Amino acid sequence: MGNAQPLFSLMLVKRVHVQEAFAFHVAAASNDRHLQPRTQSELEAFAEGSQLFIAKSIASDNVVGLCYVVPFTDHEWELGGMCVARNERRSDVATALGVFAIAHTVVHDRPWFYGDEIVAYVAAENEAGLLLIQSSSLFVHVPDGIDSDAPGDATETTAPYKKFLFSHDALHTLTAIFNICFMNEHSVFRFFTRRHSLFRIEPRKLSDVLQKGLKAALRDAEHVT
């Protein structure tokens, strides 16, 4: 039993689940000064816009991860608010949740169709956050993207931020990851790490919707690049 693979569900937060998501966010923000505290009203607005995402442990039914992708400037959507339960930080929850959230945003909000970009701002002193995003194959650092005024996910607005861009080229990588991982083994996403964590998108039919949508997004991106 000790070697059982951790299983998680990834889902879009509906209004009825906002209070549970908010409680998790508050607890995480109280222990992470780089995480910008959000109000319950803000999370409700994100949920209404289909922009709030969580990961839940199948074993405990507890929320173990949260993030959102929301309009940041006139032409930017920000992946932010990423937080993972301390006991699951080696389970690839952040990576799986990020892939799911970005895929959903690409398919349902079509940012490039409107000349927008998906970005992430990470405080320069947030070593864990930088390590996570720099190890991702989906984001590239924008060298001139340090902006001391960007709110990002920190409480100290004087700290400089590093900007990372989800480029058009990364859409091919995102689609490949999604097709290989989420569409195998009955919509279970497998990361081959020491814990071999498993993830499933709920409801199950959303996996099919996103797969078809990513294929269409690839065609759209070719026309706007």
> Looking at 4-18, 25-39, 155-169, 176-190, which range is the least confident one?
176-190
Q: pLDDT value at position 218?
A: 87
Residue at 2 is within a domain: no
Q: Is residue 103 part of a domain?
A: yes
What is the span of the domain harbouring residue 75?
A: 7-224
Q: How big is the chain by its Cα radius of gyration, in Å?
A: 17
Tell me what the mean pLDDT of segment 7-22 comes to: 94
| Residue 169 in domain | yes
User: Domain with 183 in it: what CATH number?
Assistant: 3.40.630.30
CA distance 93 to 80: 15
Q: Judge whether residue 184 has pLDDT over 80.
A: no
The predicted structure's pLDDT at residue 99: 94
* Residues 6+ positions from 45 with CB-CB distance below 8 Å: none
Task: Determine, yes or no, domain membership for 17.
Answer: yes
Q: What total number of domains does the chain contain?
A: 1
Cβ neighbours for 92, distance < 8 A, ≥ 6 positions apart: 191, 193, 195, 197
Is 1 inside any structural domain? no
Sign (positive or negative) of CA dihedral 121, 106, 65, 28: positive
Mean pLDDT across 133-158? 66
Taking residue 170's Cβ as centre, other Cβ atoms within 10 Å add up to: 18
**How confident is the model over 171-188, as a mean pLDDT?**
78
Say what the pLDDT of residue 156 is. 38
pLDDT of residue 5: 77
33 pLDDT higher than 50: yes
* pLDDT per residue as tens digits for the range 82-131: 999 999 988 889 999 999 999 999 999 999 888 899 999 999 999 999 99
The verdict on residue 167 lying in a domain is: yes
Domain-located, residue 31: yes
Higher pLDDT, 163 or 113: 163
Q: Is residue 55 part of a domain?
A: yes
Calculate the average pLDDT of the chain. 86
